[in-house]
Amino acid sequence: KPLDEFEAPGARNSTLGEDALWHVLYSLGQDNTYLNKRKAYWGLVLAVRDRMLEKWTAVQRKYYANDDKRLYYLSLEFLPGKFLRGNLLALGLENEAHEFLHEHDLSLDEIVDEECEPGLGNGGLGRLASCYMDSMATLGLPAYGYGIRYSYGLFRQEIRNGHQVEQPDNWLHEGSHWLIPRPHNLFPIRFYGTVNEWLDDDGMLRHDWRGGDLVMAMANDMYVPGYRNGHVNSIRLWEARPHKEFVLSSFNAGDYIGSVQEKISDENISMVLYPSDDAPEGKTLRLKQQYFFVAATMRDMVRRFKKLNKPWDQLPEKNVVQLNETHPAIAIPELMRMLLDEELLGWEEAWCICQKLFAYTNHTILPEALETWPVKLIERLLPRHMQIIYEINRRFLEEVRLHFRDEPELPSRVSLISAGPEQRVRMSHLAIVGSFSVNGVSSLHTQILKDRVFHDFIRIFPDRFNNKTNGITPRRWLRQCNVPLSWLLSEHLGCNWITDLTQLKKLRELVDDVEFRHDWEQCRLTNKKRLADYIEKVNGITVNPHSIFDVQVKRFHEYKRQLLNILHIISLYNNIRRNPDVKMQPCTFIFGGKAAPSYQMAKDIIYLINCVARRVNSDPHTRNFLKVIFLANYNVSLAQLLVPATDVSEQISTAGYEASGTGNMKFALNGALTIGTRDGANIEIGERVGDGNIYLFGLCEKEVLALRRRGYDPWEFYKNDSELREVLDMINSDQFTPGDSTAFSSIFNSLLTGGDPFMVLADYRAYVETHKRISHEYVDRDLWIKKSIMNTAGMGYFSSDRAVKEYIDGIWSLEPDV
């Protein structure tokens, strides 16, 4: 078609392809008479975006018209993964896209390579937020995600000489059309300054926070289409911008460089995501990030509420705020400040509103991960908030003293402020006291919160605690990432499973169907070959697609025990070398994951895995039986490649430490068998796929506690298990690092003299024996494939649609619109 025959998109009697071509010329300013991958990609993005925007504006209008109650999901992290394929799928545009690309001799597979994924999260918590956003759109909920538009996402991981090297992730350097800047949605955010007191007409003492520094928060919106329901929600990501007046004033004073520097430091707030998923760093910048996005979000919520002209006590009837971890918990004193100081409400009224509005999800029980901030720091950065926190605490402790007269220790244990040389604010206590709901993310996790971590609060607020077992979206984690299996499923079950995952239970009727099992195995093999090609291309190592693909991918953490995995691999290696004629099923062990840059032990473990891999993969005696692969830069896209190709999913955290896990769900949904501890959601997965279809091993949470109380001595295991001793002695020698016998002494010492805090040695024997069983049962293909099918069949419960529905019924009281 000649150029002038293209209608502007929006009229929408044009095809997706026509709109894409239109955009290549008119939005990108490039010749659209021929296309390359890049032009086709960007043209498609813009054409898809037009269609989402139309739906989004219609949906927003409807929210206002219906006077809907809105959900605000506050999270410092979102990990959406790549957008194009998922958005085409949700909007039902896949075929049109294929046709268009085909006409230009391109394919969707090569086009999606053009997209880089936004790594705006560390791991589980951020990915969960994105799964929930997908389900909320698919359920037609009036929901908004809120977070930060980091300029740099989580670092890109390279492996050099076996070591992790961090590279900046400048994900926006080519721009992203999935993110729409809204320069008119702009709020000033204050830091530092002072608090003035004044008396209002009723003689009431009032406060007014002024002075300090102002930074502007500018909105950038990301769109989340529901699955084929015409619904589109958004995630609003705040970006820090310099506050104009501020820059101008120093500019006028003649300090040009000073004003530019000021501008640079303001923009720092949204510059980079903190790369640690535990042990929070007590950095001022991190607290600034938290307050920055929370303050802008509360402003946005109040702005929308004010348009309704309703009294303040209706705020919680028209809104609910879910706090993803304590990272946004400063929202509670911030809303108090707005209601007290700006809207001039009384304390009781304001507090009552807050306690009906906020709900808090806890994601971790690692003591070092429970967030606290020095009182001194909050006092300086957010002086009014510190006053409010003191007052919340004063009133709360007064109540506690009144109701628990015979427990004089209780107030100090539940206080929002921890005593000690440096007073600190306990953000979890603030979140519990200021919310109407506190939830854990798996049955076991919630039980541990009630029994141990927050036990004191159970008696004070018996009805506040509840469980919401995590879930994952079947759109991305089955339909999108596993196309062969999706076809097979839809052929036999119809395609309703995509929005009603419990349909998968009907697969149980098909396990005895020989032909079905054959097709199932073929799907798995196709996926494994695709992964093998990737490994060949990226790592330069040939792996046998008929070998057992055993995968452990997740952040590196001592509690997740990648060490246990590599210890077993070393002993396997020793056994094959001792017994070269061994008849065993070839195995490919695959690792992936990032270590926090400051977490030395985690980095040492990555180095150990890479050194073992180098040795094992180059040994001619074991080459045909054993391969060890470390895949660099594990992220959502890589997960989508790995998950459908995995035979054995490693979920081996020390019992009691993994709040839930969601990777465990992705693998089992795609037909992998789990080797796992009785931890987090593994327990619930076992209950649903059936005892015979999961390999649970090792100490349970109660046994871990009991053993620790009794006095755990890792040396006992070292002395009594010669195979284990051999492996540990190898680590403590130069076997894997020729010429350097101390490379892994920190690991050796942690496991022995350091007391082995995560009880790796205690679970070692059970783990090795369980792997023997797996290797044995894998060879019985009929048996294995049946178990694989039974896994997928039992995983319907773990859809994030189910999880979100439980939040709706149990916490949010929203009305889905479907």
What tokens does 621 get? 């005696």
For residue 34, give the 3-state DSSP assignment: coil
Q: For residues 276 and 423, which CB has a smaller minimum distance to ligand 26M in the complex? A: 276
Q: How far is CA 563 from CA 60, 457, 548, 743, in A?
A: 50, 36, 20, 15
Q: For residues 132 and 209, which CB has a smaller minimum distance to ligand 26M in the complex? A: 132
Complete edge-to-edge strand list for the sheet that includes strand 424-426: 372-374, 424-426, 417-418
Binding ligand 26M (rule: CB under 6 A), the pick from 91, 441, 478, 675 is 441
Query: For this structure, is 244 an active site residue?
Result: no
Residue 680 is a binding residue for ligand 26M (CB under 6 A): yes
Q: How far is the CB of 413 from ligand 26M (least distance, A)?
A: 23
Please report, as residue ranges, which positions from 338 to 367 form the binding site for ligand 26M (by CB under 6 A): 363-364
Question: 634-672 burial by CB neighbour count: b if 16+ within 10 A, else e?
Answer: bbbbbbbbbbbbbbbbbbbbbbbbbbbbbbbbbbbbbbb
Query: For this structure, is 372 an active site residue?
Result: no
Binding ligand 26M (rule: CB under 6 A), the pick from 276, 418, 423, 447 is 276
- What is the C-alpha R_g of the chain? 28
Q: Distance between CA atoms of 115 and 130, rounded to whole angstroms?
A: 18
Residue 74 is a binding residue for ligand 26M (CB under 6 A): no
Q: How far is the CB of 226 from ligand 26M (least distance, A)?
A: 22
The DSSP 8-state label assigned to residue 653 in this structure reads P
Residue 662 is a binding residue for ligand 26M (CB under 6 A): yes
Counting every residue written for the chain, the total comes to 818
Residue 324 is a binding residue for ligand 26M (CB under 6 A): no
Query: For this structure, is 560 an active site residue?
Result: yes
Give residue 762's identity as a one-letter amino acid code: A
Q: How far is CA 623 from CA 220, 395, 568, 580, in A?
A: 51, 68, 17, 11
What residues have CB less than 8 Å from 460, skipping those under 6 apart? 400, 403, 404, 414
Residue 122 is a binding residue for ligand 26M (CB under 6 A): yes
Residue 179 · residue 220 · CB < 8 Å: yes
Q: Distance between CA atoms of 626 and 616, rounded to whole angstroms?
A: 7
Instruction: Give the binding range for ligand 26M (CB under 6 A) out of 130-138, 529-537, 653-661, 700-708.
Output: 653-661
**CB neighbourhood size of 597 (10 A):** 15
CA atoms within 13 A on the CB side of 798: 33
Residue 328 is a binding residue for ligand 26M (CB under 6 A): no
Q: For residues 119 and 661, which CB has a smaller minimum distance to ligand 26M in the complex? A: 661
The span from the first CA to the last CA of the chain, in angstroms, equals 40
Q: Distance between CA atoms of 326 and 324, rounded to whole angstroms?
A: 7
Q: For residues 266 and 679, which CB has a smaller minimum distance to ligand 26M in the complex? A: 679
Per-residue contact flags (x/-) with ligand 26M for residues 748 to 787, judged by CB under 6 A:
----------------------------------------
Residue 660 is a binding residue for ligand 26M (CB under 6 A): yes
Residue 223 is a binding residue for ligand 26M (CB under 6 A): no
Instruction: Give the binding range for ligand 26M (CB under 6 A) out of 140-148, 273-281, 733-741, 768-776.
Output: 273-281
Q: How far is the CB of 329 from ligand 26M (least distance, A)?
A: 12
Residue 274 is a binding residue for ligand 26M (CB under 6 A): yes
Please report, as residue ranges, which positions from 279 to 308 form the binding site for ligand 26M (by CB under 6 A): 280-281, 286
Alpha helices, DSSP H, located in 511-582: 514-539, 562-578
Q: For residues 662 and 670, which CB has a smaller minimum distance to ligand 26M in the complex? A: 662
Residue 485 is a binding residue for ligand 26M (CB under 6 A): no
Q: For residues 132 and 516, which CB has a smaller minimum distance to ligand 26M in the complex? A: 132
- Please identify which of the residues 23, 243, 363, 424 carries the catalytic annotation: 363
Q: For residues 262 and 325, which CB has a smaller minimum distance to ligand 26M in the complex? A: 325
Which residues are known to be catalytic?
363, 554-555, 560, 662, 666
Residues near ligand 26M (CB under 6 A) are: 122-125, 128, 274, 276-278, 280-281, 286, 363-364, 369, 441, 470, 658-662, 680
